[in-house]
Amino acid sequence: MPGPPTPFTLSEHELRQRALRRARRRESRTAWAFVSPSILVILGLSVVPVIWSLLLSFRADDLVTPGRWVGLDNYYALSRDPNFGQAVRNTLTYTALYVPLSIVLGLALALVLNRRIRLVGLYRTLIFVPFVVSATAQGTLFAFILDPQFGAANSVLHALGVSPQGFFTDPAQALFLLVAITLWSGLGFCVVVYLAALQDVPRPLIEAARLDGAGRWHLLRHVTLPTLTPVSVFLVLWQTINALQVFDLVYVTTKGGPLGATTLIVYFIWEQAFKNFTAGYGAAAAYVLAVALFVIAAGLRVARGRESRRLEGATR
Amino acid sequence: MTATVTTPRQAAQADVSRRGRARLPFSAWHLLLAPLALIFAIPLVWLLLSSVMSNAEINRFPPALWPSRVDLGGYRYVLGNALFPRWFANSLIVSTVAVASNLLFGAFGGYAFARMRFSGSRSLLVLMLATMAIPFQLTMIPTFLVMKRLGLIDTLGALIVPSLVTPFAVFLLRQFFLSLPRELEEAAWIDGCSRLRVLFRVVLPLSRPALSTVAILTFLSTWNDLTWPLIAINHDNQYTLQLGLATFQGQHHTQWAAVMAGNVITVLPVLLAFVGAQKAFIQSITSSGLKG
């Protein structure tokens, strides 16, 4: 028996398949049109520069005349550069002070401001407002307030009978003043983030703990703080990244001085690349910073994973 | 990284606290909070006060802590300086373009990643997410070189191009779009709407909270930035307000009233935006980091 005649037209199934494929292709084209501006800008100005920066760090380059390949010389020079060593030490000191202080004080303030007190909205606003003030404006303002001659700070100290201070001109004080100023402006961020997180502490959990006879301290220690852990980890990461990248404030207030006391690592990079015109050297320093940031982020990621697993185990 | 939306529960809580506030007794916490809030407020109050002092009052020792009369000399000096209004305009142009283009391109990119199927979308998304972890300091030197090749150094273009769209805008909007019900879009789509029309007529009107988050954070970061303008701009005609303020302070150290007047003008737009949209501001700040 002969088989069925070969059809002149495509089967129903085949037709549907083709229409689907055509629709897919059209959708794919539209999608690419939608994402291409973002891809062009974002990848063009991040992936390309990351590779370029690495190549630059192996070169002696002044950004104007053609550079030459020097291999690992920049990194070797960095390891022996006392100014780079000082910048790293300053940055670590700054970070080690700013991050824990901003988080502990931010949490404490958030716990207080989470209570039902009169004027609590006003307090929250006043503490948050400095956050929106640019670092340039902060720097200008505090350079003025802390001016050894004309500043209001010395004037107040004078009235209190304290001898006038050097502030930013004193190498022993300058770095700590920077920490204080960034605490003034950055604390509000931690408070706001913690306040938002405190809203999400499950009420049944608190009530259950109360019924079990938990006091205020136990409630904080065993219910509130554990539920805030993910937020705290986020804040540590966020504040650390910010602390390692401080530049604007330094540029406006001290320009890294006095005697390099406030040269933080980003200021060092900028100085090398755009002031001393040793861009390759600056790029090498930037790579060291980036690797450090990456290690911190990876470490926290691991810690976060372990922490969340531990918490899951506790609630099960 | 979804934007926070006020839930009915939160709204109810806010309502309760509003009604309850009048009955709240004096709390001992005021003894701690009032001085603390004062410390946070004083520098900004001092900024305002010193901007209306005369130079004589500022330069005597000890300087006056309260202006004897309102002296607008500082403002007159700053606004009479032909460059200052120019810097203000430059900042406004750069920030406005950045906000508009982040909303537009962020919405396009976010929508494609949230709702469309195309080859390579997963890996592209991961790649873009990864770029958020790259510190700016690593890319600033080569970005300068890229801008130089494009001939944009010393023009506002050098400030605008890198801030056209950020991975943050794309991701935030993508996350928000994913949280919207698909059914609405499908209904419009079946009715014959194009993707573009669905995006603009259905999706975006529902995305107000996410859009305002992107707008606020983009404005804040572009208006307040100093590092990149410092690198990309040399000629004082093209300065932004922050860059202008930084150099103005260096050159006019003795004209503190003028420097502080310039400072007030730099800070004011952000403060006004904050006061005007406090709730949206706070929500955008928290949603930028929480629930990532």
B3 and A CB contact within 8 Å: no
Residue B2 has pLDDT above 50, yes or no: no
Q: Establish if B65 belongs to a structural domain.
A: no
pLDDT grade for A205, boundaries at 50, 70 and 90? confident
Q: Which of A66-75, A161-170, B142-151 has the highest mean pLDDT?
A: B142-151
- Residue where the block lists tokens 């506030």: B21
The overall longest dimension of chain A from CA atoms, in Å, is: 118
Q: Establish if B32 belongs to a structural domain.
A: no
B256 → chain A, closest CA residue: A144
Q: Establish if B165 belongs to a structural domain.
A: yes
- Residue where the block lists tokens 């920049």: A74
ipTM of model over 0.95: no
Per CB-CB distance under 8 Å, the chain B contacts of A30 are 112, 116, 195
Residue A314 has pLDDT above 60, yes or no: no
Structural domain including B145 reads 84-248+269-288
Six token digits for residue A295: 């290690």
Coil, strand, or helix at residue A69? strand
Q: Which long-range CB contacts under 8 A does A9-18 form with residues at least 24 apart?
A: none
What does the pLDDT look like over B229-280, one tens digit per residue?
Answer: 999 999 989 999 999 999 888 777 678 888 899 999 999 999 998 988 888 8
Q: Establish if B178 belongs to a structural domain.
A: yes
- How far off is chain B from A12, nearest CA to CA, in Å? 22
What does the pLDDT look like over B11-55, one tens digit per residue?
Answer: 445 544 555 445 666 778 888 898 999 999 999 999 999 888 887
Q: Establish if B174 belongs to a structural domain.
A: yes
What does the pLDDT look like over A88-112, one tens digit per residue?
Answer: 999 999 999 999 999 999 999 999 9
A259 and B CB contact within 8 Å: no
What does the pLDDT look like over B120-140, one tens digit per residue?
Answer: 888 999 998 888 878 888 889
For residues A242-263, average pLDDT? 90
**Cα torsion at A135, A139, A145, A151 (round to 10°)?**
-170
Residue type at A39 in one-letter notation: I
Q: Establish if B274 belongs to a structural domain.
A: yes
B193 and A CB contact within 8 Å: no
State how many domains chain B has: 1
Where residue B134 sits, what CATH number does that domain have?
A: 1.10.3720.10
- How far off is chain B from A10, nearest CA to CA, in Å? 27
pLDDT at position B290 is 59
B277 and A CB contact within 8 Å: no
Measured CA distances, A77 to A72, A136, A263, A268 (Å): 9, 32, 18, 14
Interface mutation target, options B6, B33, B108, B254, chain A, most CBs of A under 10 Å: B33
